[in-house]
Amino acid sequence: MRPESFKFLENYLNNPSPTGFEKEGQKLWLEYIKPYIDSYFVDTYGTVVGVINPDAKYKVVIEAHADEISYFVNYITKEGYLYLRRNGGSDALVAPSKRVNIFGEKGIVKGIFGWPAIHVRKIEQDKAPTIETIFLDCGASSADEVAELGIHVGSVVTFEDEFTVLNDKYYVGRALDNRVGGFMVAEVARMLKENKKTLPFGLYIVNAVQEEIGLRGAEMIAHRINPDVAIITDVTHDSQSPMYEKKTAGDISCGKGPVITYGPAVQNNLRDLIINTAKETDIPFQRAAATRATGTDTDAFAYSGSGVASALISLPLKYMHTTVETVHKDDVQNVINLIYETVLRIEDGQDFRYFS
């Protein structure tokens, strides 16, 4: 990866962008992509769209989502401890002993997820942490002191953990789900510009908000753009580490390439174009099957308007919704390459219908 891209990836991942509060991360993303697009727009809730050939009638979307899971302060005790509600699929099990950033009226306040010492617990009666039992300590000894810090009910909380590289092969951190996707579609835009590729259609590079609570940003922006084609990238579960059951999770591995999904929301002809592109360009890939839905923004685009030819290219990821989400360097580059090469093979006005 070129040094400038790596620096952006690091800064972008380290910047908190909790669901519903993605603004600062979206500003970073937009600033990075501006040199590679012709125009852009931002919608009411913060989804950012960079556009190449904005006047073209035929519209192709490449999309990722920008938001990360987080918490809301829900209750403040008279002793100054904070109890929470989830904002997205936050996992209480990984919270105890973690450091956090609390976004208050006066700026960021540092906090910690406290937990009783092993010495004072009856270990044989231990139960897994739940949203009802985890709590935050921000160093205050009363509710009034919490208020003086600028913390209130509704303040957003994110983990403090930052980006690292593991064994020179893996990128590790919180919020790779799915800001690494935003990075990848931005890199596609950069490659198109630097390689002086001219597209016969309008390309909309979308970084959508609020995926983690129900694909909401994608729903809104799909109606606004009204595209003809949408290629979505998100993460999917690597199933090689302990405690995964391949019979249900599939056999997906970090380092073996992008994952191409089969499912009702995935348009077969577009999917086959992606697979053929991978074969023609020697990009390794894996296959996965969805059930009723992919659970990604693919579903929002596919079923928007009168129907949009949509497909999903996923990045294998270990330890989803933890502070140590892990992806392989090669997979990141191969997802970028596969989206790039596929975009170059889409024709202006291409009809993806099964028959006519």
pLDDT in tens, 158-176: 999 999 999 999 999 999 9
Q: How many domains does the chain have?
A: 2
CB 297 within 8 A of CB 63: yes
- Closest alpha carbon to 63 in 328, 330, 294: 294
For the chain, what percent of residues have pLDDT higher than 90? 97
Ramachandran category for residue 217: left, alpha or beta (phi over 0 → left; psi -120 to 50 → alpha): alpha
Q: Which residues contact 248 (CB under 8 A, 6 or more apart)?
A: none
Q: Which residue has the tokens 């960079």?
A: 50
Q: Which residue has the tokens 């829900």?
A: 74
Q: Which two tokens stand for residue 51?
A: 């556009």
* Marked catalytic residue, from 22, 63, 68, 211: 211
Tell whether 214 and 88 lie within a shared domain.
no
What pTM was estimated for this model as a whole? Answer: 0.96
pLDDT in tens, 294-324: 999 999 999 999 999 999 999 999 999 999 9
- CATH at residue 185: 3.40.630.10
Annotation: binding site for Zn(2+): 65, 177, 212, 234, 321
Average pLDDT of every residue of the chain = 97
Active site (annotated) includes residue 68:
no
Tell whether 235 and 297 lie within a shared domain.
yes
pLDDT in tens, 248-297: 999 999 999 999 999 999 999 999 999 999 999 999 999 999 989 999 99
Domain limits at 152? Answer: 70-159
Q: What local confidence, expressed as pLDDT, does residue 205 receive?
A: 98
* Cα separation values, 52 from 26, 43, 198, 205, Å: 18, 17, 9, 8
Q: What local confidence, expressed as pLDDT, does residue 347 receive?
A: 98
Q: What local confidence, expressed as pLDDT, does residue 237 receive?
A: 97
- CATH at residue 116: 2.40.30.40
